[in-house]
Amino acid sequence: MAARKKRSEMVPQRQAMAGGTQAQMRKTRSDGWSQADERLFLETLAETCNASEAARAIGKSRTGAYRRKKAVPAFAQAWMEALTIGYEEIEMLLMREILFGSEVEDITLDAEGAVKTRKVKRSRNMAVALRLLAYHRDTMLAMRQAAAGAAVERPDSPDAIARVDAIIEGVREERGRAESVGV
């Protein structure tokens, strides 16, 4: 029975060997990632799109999170899904802001805690959201292509530009034929 208990506390670890890699059993780290840590990390990552903030939320380092992403394919996949959720939320936030705007009430209190002034601000600084969108745009496009199972290309890709140029050239040729016939 004791041998069975010891065996369940062991986890495989890859070891670099001269001929490649080999699995070796080792004890589970007491400061390792639990399922609760992983779940909270992914939830925070989906909310913030920020790996540093997500690692901070569970008391781990960002480097350790990236190391885990590299070593555990299922975690890497869940990481990408969390980023997709967060990125889509940023897109929706920007769309809501563009369509409806926003109001933020700024309240100033005096020394006794009574309301001194109230100001309604009608817009937000969206620079951070725009930078995140620009930074992750290509990654998100690739992930959406993989999820759709088909090629989803950018409208400014070389292939799309070549197809538009070919269509425009076809229209010009058609016009040239129509003008030479006299129509």
pLDDT digits (tens, 9 = 90+) for 62-117: 999 999 999 899 999 999 999 989 988 888 887 777 666 677 788 888 888 888 88
Which helix (H) or strand (E) covers residue 22, if one does?
strand 20-27
- pLDDT band with cut points at 50, 70 and 90 for residue 51: very high
Rounded to whole angstroms, the Cα distance separating 104 from 107 reads 10
Structure confidence at residue 132 (pLDDT):
72
Structure confidence at residue 134 (pLDDT):
80
Radius of gyration of the chain (CA): 27
Do residues 60 and 22 touch, judged by C-beta distance below 8 A?
Answer: no
Is residue 16 predicted with pLDDT exceeding 80?
Answer: no
Structure confidence at residue 170 (pLDDT):
87
The more confidently predicted of residues 118 and 56 is 56
At 124, is the secondary structure helix, strand, or coil? coil
Do residues 153 and 159 touch, judged by C-beta distance below 8 A?
Answer: yes
Do residues 113 and 131 touch, judged by C-beta distance below 8 A?
Answer: no
Q: Tens digit of pLDDT for each residue in 29-39?
A: 666 788 899 99
Is residue 165 predicted with pLDDT exceeding 70?
Answer: yes
Do residues 155 and 113 touch, judged by C-beta distance below 8 A?
Answer: no
Is residue 15 predicted with pLDDT exceeding 60?
Answer: yes
Is residue 2 predicted with pLDDT exceeding 70?
Answer: no
Is residue 7 predicted with pLDDT exceeding 60?
Answer: no
